[in-house]
Structure formats: C-alpha cells, structure tokens
Amino acid sequence: VVTTGPSPQAAGDPTPVVAAVDVGGTRVKAALVDRELAAVVSLTLATPAALGEPGRLVEAMALVVEQLATRAGQEGAGVDVVGCGVVVPGLVDEERGVAVLSANLGWRDLDVAEPLARRLGLRTVLGHDVRAGLLAERAVGAAAGADHALFVPVGTGIAGALMLEGHVLHVDGWAGELGHVVVEPGGPVCGCGARGCLEAVASAAAVERDYAALAGVHLSAEGVASRVEAGEPAAAAVWGRAVEALARAVAMTVTLTGVDLVLVGGGLAQSGRTLLDPLTCQVDSALTFQRRPRIVRAALGDRAGCLGAACLGWGVVR
Amino acid sequence: VVTTGPSPQAAGDPTPVVAAVDVGGTRVKAALVDRELAAVVSLTLATPAALGEPGRLVEAMALVVEQLATRAGQEGAGVDVVGCGVVVPGLVDEERGVAVLSANLGWRDLDVAEPLARRLGLRTVLGHDVRAGLLAERAVGAAAGADHALFVPVGTGIAGALMLEGHVLHVDGWAGELGHVVVEPGGPVCGCGARGCLEAVASAAAVERDYAALAGVHLSAEGVASRVEAGEPAAAAVWGRAVEALARAVAMTVTLTGVDLVLVGGGLAQSGRTLLDPLTCQVDSALTFQRRPRIVRAALGDRAGCLGAACLGWGVVR
C-alpha cells in the first residue's frame, strides 16, 4: 500500500458504497465510493505482476476489494458495499465483461466481470479506463452538463474517449484511439507499427525523446514544459511540434464529429496554460467554418479512472 | 420536369405514401414513397433559383409535392399522402426544422419544417441530405443490418455521415464533415479556406483540376478513371493522390470511431473497383492493431437523399 485516502465518514448508519478499481500499467487505484462519487476510503497499490495468467486479475481485484473493506472497518467508516466496478486499459468488451487485449499489461481475453462477481458476491461491471474516466468527468468534473466531449489523457501514451449526444461511444470496444491517428505522415515510428501517430509525436515520451535528441539532455516532459516557460528555444521547438500535432488531431476530431468540448488530461496537461493556450490558438486557426470547441484541462487528474469505475458500479446497482 | 419515375402501382385501394424531396445544388429529386421505401411516383427538377429568399424554399417544396400528387393521379396510382420529408445540404438543425446554412444554395436560417407542414397540412420533417442518405442505405441499401457505418459521397465536394451503435450522429448538425479533415498539411487551398482538406485533394473537382494541370487536358473524373483503367501514367498519378487522401481520411475515421463499414458514394464511386480496390488496400496497410473496415460502394446512388427524406417522413408519421 502506497497511499491512503481520507476517511470523511464517522461511524453510524452504514453508507452504501461501490468498490471501484482502476488497473493501470504501474499502479492500481481503488476506492469505496458513495453515490455522490466521493471516495470514503481509497488505496493505491503497485500493479501486481503477471496479471495475464489465468485467474490472476480476478484474484488481485478481489483482494483489493477486501483490503478496502478492512480499511473502512479500521477507520470506523461504516460502509455497505453494494457493487463493484473495475476499469482496465486496452481493448475491453464491456457487454461480456472481458478484458480483450492489453499489450501493456500482457493479457488477452480475460473473463473478469462474471468470475469477480461470483468471487465477491456483488454485482460487478468491467469497463475501459478512459471511457469510464469521461463518465466521471461528466458526473463531477470538467464535462459536467455537457452533451459532447472529447477526453484526451496525454501521458506516456495518448488515449481518447468520445461522448456524443450524451453517450460515451464504445463501438464494440474500438472507439477513441486518438493516439493512433496519423498527424505527421511519414513521421516517427509508433509502438503500434505505423508512422506519425499522434502518440509518436505528442506523448510525454515523444516530448522527452525529441528534447533529448535536440538538446542532448534527458528531461521529463514536465521539465521540458518548465524550460518552455523559461523561453528556451530547444524546449519551445520540441513543445511546438507536440502542440501542433495535438491541434491537428483535435481539429480533425471536431471536424468529423462536431464535438464542442475537449478535456486534456494526463501528465502533459499538468503544465496547464503552457499546453492549453497554444493548443487552443492552433485549433482555432486550423478550423474555418466549424464551431470552435472549448479546450480545458480535465478536472479529476489520476482519479478519473477510479471514479469512472464507481460510475459504472453504481450503474449496475441502480 | 427532367425525368419521370416508374408508376408500378395499379389503381385500387390508395397506397399510404410520404412525399420525399431532396434539394441538391443543381437538381431537386422528389418522390411519393411507400412504407417499403419504394417510389410510387418520382420527379426530377432543376433546382429553382434564389431559394434563400424568404418563403421561396417552402413554396417550391409545396409545389413539388402538389406536382407529385397530380402525377400520381394522372398515372392512376391511388395514393394517400400521409407525411413529408425534405432533405437539404449544409448545416441543418433537424430538431427545430431549420436549414441553418448552405453556402452552395445561398441560404441562412430558413425555417422550413413548420411553415411547410402548415402549407401542406401534413406532418413534415427537415433533415440533412447525407445523414438521411445513410438512413436509407441502412434501411434498403448497402448498410442493411449494420450497427456502424461511414457514408462518404465523393462528388464535386465530399460530405460524410457517421452511424455508430445504430444511431446516425447529428451533434447539433455539425457531425460528419469528413471533406474538411486535413489529409495533406500545407496542401491545396480548399473552398472553406483551409489547406489540404480531403475535399481539396480527392473530390471529383480536385481530380479534374489535377489531371488538367498534369496532362494539359480537361477531362471529367469519370474520364480520368477510364484512363486509369487504360494504364495511362498521368491519370494513375492523379488518381493515386486522391485514393491516398481518401485512405488517410478513412483510416483516421476508423481509428477514432471504430467504424467497421464504409460506404463510398457519389460520382467517383461510379468507377467501382478502380476506386475501391486500391482504397481498400491502402486503408488496410495504414491500419495496424485496428479492426479492418469493409469498404463497399453505396447501393442507392443519387436516390439515397430522396429515400432518406422518405425515411424521415415515415419516422414522424409512425
């Protein structure tokens, strides 16, 4: 256990909560979350190894949920766990509750929702981390009240989720792969095998790679952002390339879908206006007749996935 | 009146039909269409001038519907007109029944559905020509049984409509502007003011322009397609650029939305395999982990808009 969340509940009538778990490449974030999407108890763990082996993911999730319940007891938070939501990256079949593919976490066709429901004795739902994150941003974050939104977490990789007409698109699990839209034809080779994907040009990893190549120094993307703010030309050149690529991908998404709100999340968004101001400016100038999207920083940071899992959990309980 | 459709109905019990009208840049296509989407009577007219002037579009539509009814009487087709659907290009607010903007047809904020309903004494609905065309392709065309589809009519311009999870996206009228996705950054200037839009590179007009520039001869896009088939290098070069641009736009749409069926329509699709074979091949090679879409020719040709108007008409009647 790396960190522990707050325990705002005093003992008393048990609070109905769902267990929410976000399985990431390096960390698992979990919480017991009430109906108002407040975390009553939360945990962050290192992601266990070999989750692709049979039964391993389900067992790990069950242990996390039990830990949450124990923690709630220790902290005197009276809770009644009424359901469970788990979100994972990669390709997810939400209808069947199957984690279809994650190259990063090394699994393929893991049946999750049904065996975990049996193991926990709780209604359980499996979802996609970024799509669920957008649900949470809509419920209590930067997309509150919106009908349409694009959520783009820009970190080591670049993911995406699209809400249109009040509905987050799944399309059999394939919707939202903004990171693999080609923005620089013939550009850098991407992990997926194509050239010039957004992720290969504008992710934190790409910014770090480009800065190291240009300046001969390895800095984190946050470090590069600081040097941009300090007016360093090499940092500005590297940053400018990433911003231009993001602007192209956003403009293209706006043109194709008509989405009018863009939430930028992930590590790169922590630089705030250093990213958002030039991005907004370039998207505006790339568009002609199209309506301009509002481009804002996502509100929930690295809690989006876990709160999204809670949204899904409450969805099956209600 | 330029052409007249068939009149397959013999006199007898009146057939319930909707009046369906597709207002294009050069022609108006209209028909009385039965529940099975068969046209009982149809007309094609030259598009009247000055449709942007107050009341002009509504009056023209009303006259067309009256002509259809007269024609049905003359042909002994006993019909009972129970509703009306009108589709137009440009930006359309389907909810309010307002034709918001068409640069091509020269109008802005024309109130259509309500005044036309009053004039005709029929339930009347206004829709977007390409989105309605996709509805018709789904009902009786190449998207029958599909949950997801991209419809791309490639003619003088390039439009688009997206159906995802069984629903054709509107997004306040802004969805589907595939023709204005940038596929050649810094490329030819588009009518919209941007550079390198798909429409500026791959429309029939762009193919004709590029061929004239390269070969010094003006040919129609169909003529260029014939020369491609005959193995002429200049034609192949021009065609190849258009196909590559279309493949980029399709690959991008597949990556972003997960759509798994692409219907190519409009004049350029009349060349059949000359367009579809290299397009399919290039889309396949542009994608990596994504699922491959089926790419087919749209089935309804220039009847898609009118039959789509009928789908909308039947939608408000039922």
Quick check: B49 pLDDT over 60? yes
Q: Which of B316, B311, B261 is CA-nearest to residue B139? A: B311
Quick check: A181 pLDDT over 90? yes
In chain B, the residue whose alpha carbon lies closest to the alpha carbon of A196 is B286
Buried b (16+ CB within 10 A) or exposed e, B7-39: bebeeeeebebbbbbbbbeeebbbbbbbeebbb
Tell me what pLDDT residue A9 has.
Answer: 46
Amino acid found at B48:
P
Count CB-CB contacts under 10 A for residue A288.
Answer: 14
Tell me what pLDDT residue B233 has.
Answer: 97
Tell me what pLDDT residue A2 has.
Answer: 46
Report which of residues A2 and A294 the model is more confident about.
A294
> In which band, very low, low, confident or very high, does the pLDDT at A12 lie, cut at 50, 70 and 90?
low
Residue A242 Cα distances to A117, B145, B264, angstroms: 42, 41, 33
In A75-179, alpha helices (H): 113-120, 129-140
Residues of A with CB under 8 A from a CB of B: 148, 160, 162, 164-165, 167, 169-178, 180-182, 185, 190, 192-194, 248, 251-253, 255-260, 286-291
CA distance B220 to B208: 6
Determine contact, residues B287/B251, Cβ cutoff 8 Å. Answer: yes
Question: What are the contacts of A186-191 at 24+ separation with CB within 8 A?
Answer: A190/B288, A191/A103, A191/A157
Tell me what pLDDT residue A195 has.
Answer: 96
Query: pLDDT tens for residues B68-87?
Result: 999 999 998 899 999 999 99
Residue B241 Cα distances to B65, B283, B286, B288, angstroms: 43, 14, 15, 22
Residue with tokens 């009487």: B73
CA distance A104 to B262: 30
Quick check: A95 pLDDT over 80? yes
Amino acid found at B263:
L
> In which band, very low, low, confident or very high, does the pLDDT at A77 lie, cut at 50, 70 and 90?
confident
Q: Which of B257, B262, B283, B291 to mutate to test the interface with A (most CBs of A within 10 A)?
A: B257
Q: Which of B21, B32, B22 is CA-nearest to residue B82? A: B32
Query: pLDDT tens for residues B104-139?
Result: 888 999 999 999 999 999 999 999 999 999 999 999
Residue A22 Cα distances to A47, A116, A144, A245, B97, angstroms: 10, 14, 21, 29, 44
Q: Which of A193, A194, A258 sits opposite B175 (nearest CB)?
A: A258
Tell me what pLDDT residue A316 has.
Answer: 87
Query: pLDDT tens for residues A16-68?
Result: 999 999 999 899 999 999 999 999 999 999 999 999 998 999 999 999 999 99
Is A288 in a helix, a strand, or coil?
Answer: coil
Between chains, do B175 and A253 touch, taking CB under 8 Å as contact? no
Between chains, do A289 and B260 touch, taking CB under 8 Å as contact? no
Averaged confidence pLDDT in chain A: 94
Tell me what pLDDT residue B317 has.
Answer: 84
Chain A residues with beta carbon closer than 8 angstroms to that of B255: 177-178, 180-181
* Helix (H), strand (E) at residue B236: helix B233-257
Residue with tokens 């196909």: B243
Q: Which of A3-12, B174-183, B212-221 has the lowest mean pLDDT?
A: A3-12
Q: Which of A152, A154, A51 is CA-nearest to residue A107? A: A51
* Mean pLDDT across B199-218: 97
Alpha-carbon distance A169 to nearest alpha carbon in chain B (angstroms): 8
Classify residue A303 by its DSSP letter.
G
Rg of chain A taking only CA atoms, in angstroms: 20
Q: Which of B190, B256, B260 sits opposite A177 (nearest CB)?
A: B256
Tell me what pLDDT residue A213 has.
Answer: 98
Tell me what pLDDT residue A1 has.
Answer: 42
CA distance A256 to A288: 13
Which residues are paired to B46 by β-bridges? B27
CA distance B39 to B140: 12
Query: pLDDT tens for residues A125-162?
Result: 999 999 999 999 999 999 999 999 999 999 999 999 99
pTM of the model: 0.93
Quick check: B237 pLDDT over 60? yes
Tell me what pLDDT residue B1 has.
Answer: 42
Tell me what pLDDT residue B2 has.
Answer: 46
Return the structure tokens found at B58: 């509504």
* Mean pLDDT across B194-205: 97
Between chains, do B194 and A286 touch, taking CB under 8 Å as contact? yes
Alpha-carbon distance A155 to nearest alpha carbon in chain B (angstroms): 18
Residue with tokens 């269409």: B33
CA distance B178 to B246: 10
Q: Which of B24, B253, B26, B58 is CA-nearest to residue A174? A: B253
Chain A residues with beta carbon closer than 8 angstroms to that of B177: 255-256, 258, 290
Return the structure tokens found at A90: 């990669």
Alpha-carbon distance B280 to nearest alpha carbon in chain A (angstroms): 17
Alpha-carbon distance B175 to nearest alpha carbon in chain A (angstroms): 4
Alpha-carbon distance B193 to nearest alpha carbon in chain A (angstroms): 6
Return the structure tokens found at B129: 């020509």
Backbone angles phi, psi at A209, to 5 degrees: -60, -50
Backbone angles phi, psi at B237, to 5 degrees: -65, -45
Quick check: A120 pLDDT over 70? yes
Tell me what pLDDT residue B12 has.
Answer: 66
Residues of B with CB under 8 A from a CB of A: 148, 160, 162, 164-165, 167, 169-178, 180-182, 185, 190, 192-194, 248, 251-253, 255-260, 286-291
Q: Which of A160, A164, A194 sits opposite B169 (nearest CB)?
A: A164
Alpha-carbon distance B200 to nearest alpha carbon in chain A (angstroms): 14
In chain B, the residue whose alpha carbon lies closest to the alpha carbon of A285 is B194
Tell me what pLDDT residue B232 has.
Answer: 98
CA distance B306 to B313: 10
Classify residue A293 by its DSSP letter.
P
Determine contact, residues B77/B7, Cβ cutoff 8 Å. Answer: yes
- Percent of chain A topping pLDDT 90: 91
CA distance B258 to B256: 6
Which residues, 6 or more positions from A292, have their beta carbon under 8 angstroms from its beta carbon? A260, A283, A284
Report which of residues A10 and A281 the model is more confident about.
A281
Is A58 in a helix, a strand, or coil?
Answer: helix
Alpha-carbon distance A174 to nearest alpha carbon in chain B (angstroms): 5
Determine contact, residues A43/A68, Cβ cutoff 8 Å. Answer: yes
> In which band, very low, low, confident or very high, does the pLDDT at A173 lie, cut at 50, 70 and 90?
very high
The dihedral region occupied by A26, where left means phi > 0, alpha psi between -120 and 50, and beta the remainder, is alpha
Alpha carbon distance, N-terminus to C-terminus of chain B: 31
Amino acid found at B96:
R
Quick check: A4 pLDDT over 70? no
Classify residue A299 by its DSSP letter.
S
CA distance B261 to B5: 31
Give how far the C-alpha of residue B310 lies from the chain's centroid of Cα atoms, to the nearest Å: 14
Which residues are paired to A161 by β-bridges? A151
In chain B, the residue whose alpha carbon lies closest to the alpha carbon of A257 is B175
Q: Which of B120, B145, B128, B41 is CA-nearest to residue B89? A: B128
